[in-house]
């Protein structure tokens, strides 16, 4: 791939990250999240509730591009299990970066064997290493909003998470939250660095 091939495909642009979106993206409701929450009956009973939405910048999902989007996860839970995104693994095992914009979230990560997680607040960055499945959970009382940027070649595989899970679930715990593995044991938080 040479430079001439990619120049002219997309043009520079800027985006204000924290303004109201022009056109509401199609929301993901509990009806769209079959098989993901532990209590399937409770999920069905509240099927109309909006859980999250994704507003994507106009960047094509093609190699050499760097698509980015803002996800907004609403506060709420299904039998104590906090509202979350579907979760996926990238088809090509590209890494990804998240940046917290509003609210309080958990970036849950799973390498197929063990889970890990990163606490997300405005101004915090979370790193998704190549090959790790990832899901976002709202652990606060306001909408949780973050920016995601990933290689255009990545692709999104949702079946892997539906089949294998994420190795952990995130529940309300008093006024806070608990990240628990399948045996009900707390999952340790990933180390946090300062730059
Ligand atoms: C994010 C996610 C977004 C929605 O942009 O796609 O938060 O989550 P699901 O795609 O799992 O429904 C990302 O990780 N992109 O690669
Ligand atoms: Zn991703």
Range from 12-16, 122-126, 140-144 carrying the lowest mean pLDDT: 12-16
Read off the pLDDT of residues 70-85 as tens digits, 9 standing for 90 and up.
999 999 999 999 999 9
Closest to 161 (Cα-Cα) out of 139, 134, 182? 134
Residues contacting residue 28 through CB under 8 Å, at least 6 positions apart? 50, 51, 52, 53, 54, 85, 86
Residues contacting residue 18 through CB under 8 Å, at least 6 positions apart? 101, 102, 145
**Bridge partner residues of 148 (DSSP):** 69, 98
Mean pLDDT, range 82-106, rounded to an integer: 98
Closest to 151 (Cα-Cα) out of 62, 31, 36, 79? 62
Quick check: 44 pLDDT over 90?
Answer: yes
Give the per-residue pLDDT at 16: 87
Residues contacting residue 117 through CB under 8 Å, at least 6 positions apart? 106, 107, 108, 109, 168, 170, 179, 187, 189, 190
* pLDDT confidence band for 8 (50 / 70 / 90): confident
Residues near ion ligand 2 (CB < 5 Å) are: 96
Closest ligand 1 atom to the C-alpha of 154? 16
* CA 117 to centroid of ligand 1, rounded, Å: 16
DSSP letter, residue 125: E
Closest ligand 1 atom to the C-alpha of 90? 16
Pocket of ligand 1 contains residue 116 by CB under 6 Å:
no
Give the per-residue pLDDT at 181: 98
What average pLDDT does the chain have? Answer: 95
**Superfamily (CATH) of domain 49-180:** Jelly Rolls (2.60.120.10)
Give the per-residue pLDDT at 24: 65
């Amino acid at each position: 791939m040479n430079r001439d091939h990619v120049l002219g495909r997309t043009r520079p642009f800027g985006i204000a990250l924290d303004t109201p979106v022009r056109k509401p993206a199609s929301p993901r409701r509990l009806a769209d999240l079959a098989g993901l929450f532990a209590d399937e009956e409770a999920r069905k009973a509240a099927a109309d509730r909006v859980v999250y939405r994704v507003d994507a910048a106009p960047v094509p999902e093609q190699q050499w591009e760097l698509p980015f989007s803002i996800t907004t996860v609403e506060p709420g839970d299904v039998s104590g299990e906090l509202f979350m995104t579907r979760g996926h693994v990238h088809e090509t095992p590209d890494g990804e970066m998240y940046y917290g914009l509003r609210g309080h979230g958990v970036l849950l990560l799973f390498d197929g064997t063990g889970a890990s997680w990163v606490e997300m607040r405005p101004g915090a960055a979370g790193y998704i290493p190549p090959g790790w499945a990832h899901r976002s959970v709202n652990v606060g009382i306001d909408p949780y909003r973050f920016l995601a940027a990933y290689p255009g070649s990545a692709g999104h595989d949702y079946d892997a998470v539906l089949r294998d899970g994420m190795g952990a679930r995130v529940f309300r715990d008093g006024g806070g939250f608990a990240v628990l593995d399948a045996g009900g044991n707390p999952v340790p938080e990933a180390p946090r660095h300062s730059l």
